Chains A and B, each alone.
Chain A
Amino acid sequence: MADATLQHDAVQHGLPGEYEAPLFGAYSKKVGMWLFLASDSLTFGALLVAFSYNRISMPAWPTPFGKESIANATVMTACLLSSSLTMVLGVLAAKRGDRAWTRNWLLATMAFGTAFIVLHGMEWSKLIGQGLALPGFPKVPGQAEEFAAVVQAVPQFPATFFGLTGMHMLHVTLGVIYLGVVALRKWFLPILGAIWIAGYALIPSYSVFHYGIHVLGLALVVALIILLLKPKVYDAHDVEVSGLYWHFVDLVWMFIFPLVYLMSTKIV
């Protein structure tokens, strides 16, 4: 709350009007997050354009998503939309100064976000098990060759599909961790560490998520440094800024869902 600090200083020194009002009428953290989201939207814009470019230029674009996949993706979408509602209710609770309900709504948002990640991981695992994989992915025992011909003929499909949805999944994962730090602060670190170690031990080594789970380890180190440098109680502004990030990942999915899934349906 730089604005509040500035106003406080001005009053203390009897110098009202010494400092200019903020240009955007918002505190600096919020403007900073908006600028980050504007730049991040270009990252996703580029990935969506890459996907769509290849979709248009490849007449034999595969349509691997049957009824089960579409139903799964629809539930994932509902999870994200519901998480946005709980997030905005958390922001309202924070503005009221109700710490208990702020934490409860943030935990509910994290639960929806985690459900999204788990469902998405299951979808990825199913597709990889059917042979839709990138060259660097570990070989799954008994891997079906259903999509092997697709990967050979249109390698752009797995590249753009895993690139786009993987980048989004990473954003959702980091969003859940961000909310965890805001909601629980240092108490979240052992939980994150336990999930990291348990995930690494329990996920079989032929799954890409056996290696992807190390994102949690990196996030743990970053969160630890942040909490050591600024061991503060997060206020309503911090909750609102974290909410902006969370709504952004929801917003991006509103374009990925129709462009990637609904435009490549295999309804029989």
Chain B
Amino acid sequence: MHDVAMHDDSKGQYFWVWGALLVLTAVEVVLAYKQVFQPLRMLEALLFLSVIKSALIIGYFMHLKFERALMRWLLVISVTACFVIMYFFFFPDADRILQLGVK
């Protein structure tokens, strides 16, 4: 477990995270510009990159990586569970409408 007061607060790591976020954004834009994938695969790739970016922001910029494990896991699990529930409620229905051919 990390202690809140003991973690490394050097500026360098934040510049690295900022650089990584800019690079990942550039990759996303290039993927979209070049239309590298089909829409569904593109969505998967962009969401994958977005999840990495959000993990970097939450972990380093928001310092969640350095909080107590209880707080870390409680927040991550509860919010993720809500999103998973939303996903399984709504997306199969959206796909069903598409299959039914409703215009």
Contact = CB atoms under 8 A, between A and B. Distances in A.
Contact of A85 (B15, B39, B49): B15
Q: Range of interface residues on chain A?
A: 35 or more
A82 interface: yes
Interface string A49-72: 100111011011000000100100
Given A42-B79, A88-B14, A92-B11, A247 B90 contact: no
Interface stretch (A10-18, A21-29, A139-147, A173-181): A21-29
Q: Range of interface residues on chain B?
A: 35 or more
B25 A74 contact: yes
Given A258-B46, A258-B49, A26 B4 contact: yes
A136 to B, nearest CB: 26
Interface string B35-49: 100010011001101
Given A78-B22, A82-B18, A251-B57, A25 B68 contact: yes
Nearest to B3: A25
Interface stretch (A115-123, A184-192, A225-233, A260-268): A260-268
B43 A49 contact: no
Contacts, number: 130
Contacts of A247: 57-58, 61-62
B49 A57 contact: no
Nearest to A84: B61
A255 B94 CA distance: 20
Given A24-B70, A258-B46, A38 B75 contact: yes
Interface of A: 23-26, 31, 34, 38, 41-42, 45-46, 49, 52-54, 56-57, 59-60, 67, 70, 74, 77-78, 81-82, 84-85, 87-89, 92, 95, 240, 243-244, 247-248, 250-251, 254-255, 257-259, 261-263, 265, 267
Interface of B: 4, 9, 11, 14-15, 18, 21-22, 25, 28-29, 31-33, 35, 39, 42-43, 46-47, 49-50, 53-54, 57-58, 60-63, 67-68, 70-71, 75, 78-79, 82-83, 86-87, 90-91, 93-95, 97-98, 102-103
30 contacts: A23-B70, A25-B71, A26-B4, A26-B71, A34-B71, A42-B79, A45-B83, A46-B86, A49-B90, A52-B91, A56-B94, A57-B97, A67-B33, A74-B29, A78-B25, A82-B18, A84-B18, A84-B21, A87-B61, A89-B14, A243-B62, A247-B62, A251-B62, A254-B53, A254-B57, A255-B50, A257-B25, A262-B46, A265-B32, A267-B33
